[in-house]
Amino acid sequence: MTGKLGASLIDVRGRPLRDLRISVTDRCNFRCRYCMPREHFGSAYRYLDRDDLLALGEIERLARLFVSLGVRKIRLTGGEPLLRRGIEEVVQALASIPDVDLAMTTNGVLLPAKADRLAAAGLRRATVSLDSLDDAVFAEVTDTAVPVARVLAGIEAATRAGLTPIKINMVVKNTVNESSVLPMAEHFRGSGHILRFIEYMDVGATNHWQLGEVLPSATVVRMIDARYPLVPIAPSHPGEVATRYRYRDGAGEIGVIGSVTQSFCGTCSRARLSADGKLHTCLFASAGTDLRGLLRAGASDDELLAVIRGLWTAREDRYSELRGRPRTAGNRVEMSYIGG
Ligand code: SAM
Ligand code: SF4
Ligand code: SF4
C-alpha cells in the first residue's frame, strides 16, 4: 500500500508528499507587520473558537494518516504554537509516531517556560524566528514591546533542553532590517545555531507586500561573504528549501531561502493543515479542504485517506513560479491561519 515506509504519494508534477505543517492555533502574542499587521489583527479580529480547533486526538489521527501516506517530517507552527493550551500533549502524541522527524517553529518568547517540558514530551528540534538584535528594529518588525533579550533567552533555554541544532529564521525586508543582516550573522557565527535568511513573501492579503521591499537572497549572501567568506554546501536532500553555505573559517553555516527570487516549487513536498483542520497544498492557497468536517461526520480512515490521496495526486500548485501572472491574484488565506 502507498503508506509503506519509502513509498510515496506523487502529485501531477512528480512531487512526493513528505512534509506536513500543522498549525495548532491562529493566535499570536506578536503582530509582525509582514504576517499579522495590527490594523487587520486588532481587537475586533475574530479568531477561531476553541471548539473550532482540531482536538488533540484529531491532530494525532490525521498525522498518523499522513505518515502512512509518506510524510516523514512534521512541523508544528501557527500563529504562535506555544500559545496552544496543551501543546506538550500535542508534541507527545506526535513524537510517538514512528519514522517522523518532529520540529516546531516559534517566536521563542515562551521557550524559557516551556523548552524543558517540550523536550521531555519528545520534541527534537526548534526553529526560532528573530529578525534583528536591535530592540528598535525588532519592535518595528514585531509591533510588540518584547525586548530581543526575551527571544535570546528562549534560544538559550531551547539549547539547554537539547532542541538542537536550532535554526534561527530571519525574514529580511530591505526597508526595515537590512542593517541587521551582518550583526545577526556575527552573533550566531560559532554558536552552533543555523541562521537562515528568508525573503519577505507576499503571503496572505494584509501585509501590503511590494516586490521592491524584498532583499534578494543573493544580496544577503554577497553581504556576508564580503565580511566572512562563505563556501556553498551541496543540498542534503531533494526538496531542501534553504540554499546552504558554510563559513570558510569553520564558524558554522547559514542558509538562504529565496522564496521570491529563486522559487523552489519544483521540489515542494509540503502540505499544510490549518488549526481548524483544513488541508492546503500550497502556502498561497485561497481555500482548503475541510478534513475536520469529515472527521467529525464520522469518516473512516480509509475515507480520509482517499480524500488526501485524491487531493495530492491532483496537486498542481506552483505559485512562486507563476508569481505576478494574472491567474495568481486571489484571496489568499493568512499565514498565521494556514501555518507558516
Ligand atoms: N509564530 C511562529 C514564528 O514566528 O516563528 C510560527 C509561525 S510564523 C507564521 C512561521 C514563519 O513564517 C516565521 O519564521 C516567520 O518569520 C515567517 N513569516 C511570516 N510571514 C512571512 C512573510 N510575509 N514572508 C516571509 N516569512 C514570513
Ligand atoms: Fe506571530 Fe510568527 Fe506571524 Fe510573527 S511571524 S505574527 S510571531 S505568527
Ligand atoms: Fe510549495 Fe506553493 Fe511555495 Fe511553490 S508556492 S514552494 S508549491 S508552497
Which ligand minimizes its atom distance to the CA of 77?
Answer: 1
Report pLDDT for 326. Answer: 54
Q: Does the N-terminal peptide bond of residue 81 adopt cis geometry, omega within 30 degrees of 0?
A: no
Q: Which atom of ligand 1 is nearest to the CA of 335?
A: 9
Q: Is 340 touching ligand 1 by the criterion CB < 6 Å?
A: yes
Distance, in Å, from the CA atom of 190 to the CA atom of 188, rounded to the nearest integer, reads: 6
Report pLDDT for 250. Answer: 97
* CB neighbour burial string for 108-134, b if at least 16 within 10 angstroms, e if fewer: bbbbbebbbebbebebbbbbbbbbbbb
75 neighbors 24 (Cβ within 8 angstroms): no
C-alpha closest to that of 273 among 288, 286, 285: 288
Q: Which atom of ligand 2 is nearest to the CA of 78?
A: 8
Report pLDDT for 324. Answer: 66
Instruction: Give, for all 340 residues of the chain, the pLDDT tens digit.
Output: 334 444 689 999 999 999 999 999 999 999 999 999 999 999 999 999 999 999 999 999 999 999 999 999 999 999 999 999 999 999 999 999 999 999 999 999 999 999 999 999 999 999 999 999 999 999 999 999 999 999 999 999 999 999 999 999 999 999 899 999 999 999 999 999 999 999 999 877 788 888 889 999 999 999 999 999 999 999 888 778 899 999 999 999 999 999 899 888 999 999 999 999 999 999 988 889 999 999 999 999 999 999 999 999 999 988 888 876 655 555 777 888 777 7
In the block, residue with C-alpha cell 479568531? 47
pTM score of the predicted model: 0.94
Please tell me the distance between residue 266's alpha carbon and the centre of ligand 3 in angstroms: 8
Report pLDDT for 317. Answer: 87
Q: What is the pLDDT of residues 105-153, one digit of tens each?
A: 999 999 999 999 999 999 999 999 999 999 999 999 999 999 999 999 9
Q: Is 80 touching ligand 2 by the criterion CB < 6 Å?
A: yes
Indicate which residue's Cα is closest to atom 1 of ligand 1. Answer: 80
Report pLDDT for 319. Answer: 83
**Could you tell me the domains of the chain?**
19-169+267-338 (3.20.20.70)
Report pLDDT for 5. Answer: 46
Report pLDDT for 285. Answer: 85
User: How does strand 243-247 pair with strand 230-233?
Assistant: antiparallel
Q: Is 336 touching ligand 2 by the criterion CB < 6 Å?
A: yes
- Coil/strand/helix, residue 230: strand
Q: What is the pLDDT of residues 179-204, one digit of tens each?
A: 999 999 999 999 999 999 999 998 77
Q: Which atom of ligand 1 is nearest to the CA of 131?
A: 16
Q: Which atom of ligand 1 is nearest to the CA of 204?
A: 23
Report pLDDT for 125. Answer: 96
In the block, residue with C-alpha cell 537539547? 162
Hey, which bits of the chain come out as E strands?
19-23, 73-77, 101-106, 125-129, 167-172, 194-199, 230-233, 243-247, 253-257, 270-273, 278-280, 289-290
Q: Is 335 touching ligand 1 by the criterion CB < 6 Å?
A: yes
Please tell me the distance between residue 311's alpha carbon and the centre of ligand 1 in angstroms: 25
Report pLDDT for 325. Answer: 63
Please tell me the distance between residue 203's alpha carbon and the centre of ligand 2 in angstroms: 12
Q: Cβ-count burial of 145 within 10 angstroms (0-12 exposed, 13-18 middle, 19+ buried)?
A: exposed
Q: Which residues surround ligand 3 with Cβ inside 6 Å?
A: 264-265, 268, 270, 282-284, 317-320
